[in-house]
Amino acid sequence: MRQFLRNQAKRIQLRSRVLFTKPTQFIIVSNGRSGSNLLLSLLSSHPRVKHCGEYYTDNRMKREDFTGRDLLTEFHEELGRKSFEKAVGAKFLYYQLESAYAEKFNVPALKQVQDFVLTNKDVKIIHLTRRNLLRTVISMLVAAKTGVYAAHDQKQLPKNASIEIDTEDCVQRMKRIQEYERQVREWFSHHSVHEMVYEDLVDHQDIETDQVLKFIGVDTLPLQGRMIRQSKSLRDSVLNFDELVTALNDTEFESLLTSGN
């Protein structure tokens, strides 16, 4: 009986400590098609981590009426503890942190949320990038064509996932991502930032997820995601691949034609 009571007291003490300790707040910042959905899927499998995903998607901004709403208070509530979470987070794509995004949808209240993310040094930042910018751009174009942005089984993978690309536009998109990456590191230069790379997450999942779990202050556990990767070769994905090769020869992006992931 004494041992039972001691165990109960320990459980109550642990629950009290959790409930009265503010959870770590984190934001995943990334370009689209750079592994953020994979990372979110993995984090979802941890019992002490909660996230609200990509909270201000384009579709949501178009669909909802934000008139008169206090979006910052709503966002704080989303980043609050719902149960026994030790870390709570959300995801923003690069462009969703720019003031132009709020202006585009005429939602000035969103700027308060953006300012909170950009200026609150207590919020931890996970900056997820992808080395192969060419695959990022092609994945973005394929997703825009097929409407498939995430797949959880083989049946959800798009059937017609080959595209013809404008090579000049492709180069400009890669340069824009580079500029965003530089800009994000400047925006969050005074935050606690964990840099992650999609290719490393794919190749060394346990090592990379252990590092990010330690960063957000939760115990390390093996994580299991539900995402299915689309792994077609570049030649199979791009109908005018030879034209793309010619356009990228002797440029800083030439090596991306043969690198993996």
CB within 8 Å of 154: residues ≥ 6 apart = 228
98/100 Cα distance (integer angstroms): 5
**Dihedral over Cα of 36, 40, 42, 43: its sign:** positive
pLDDT of residue 13: 46
Burial environment of residue 110 by CB neighbours within 10 A (0 to 12, 13 to 18, 19 or more)? buried
Question: Taking phi first (over 0 means left), then psi (-120 to 50 degrees means alpha), and beta for anything else, what does residue 120 get?
Answer: beta
CB within 8 Å of 120: residues ≥ 6 apart = none
pLDDT of residue 152: 59
Nearest to 247 by CA among 100, 22, 103, 256: 256
209/157 Cα distance (integer angstroms): 25
pLDDT of residue 226: 80
Give pLDDT tens digits along the chain (261 positions): 555 545 554 444 444 444 458 899 999 999 999 999 999 999 999 999 999 999 999 999 999 999 999 999 999 999 998 889 999 999 999 999 999 999 999 999 999 999 999 999 999 999 999 999 999 999 999 988 887 666 555 565 667 779 999 999 999 999 999 999 999 999 999 999 999 999 999 999 999 999 999 999 999 999 998 876 766 889 999 999 999 999 999 999 999 999 877
CB within 8 Å of 81: residues ≥ 6 apart = 19, 22, 23, 50, 88
pLDDT of residue 12: 45
* Domains observed in the chain: 2-132+151-162+190-231 (3.40.50)
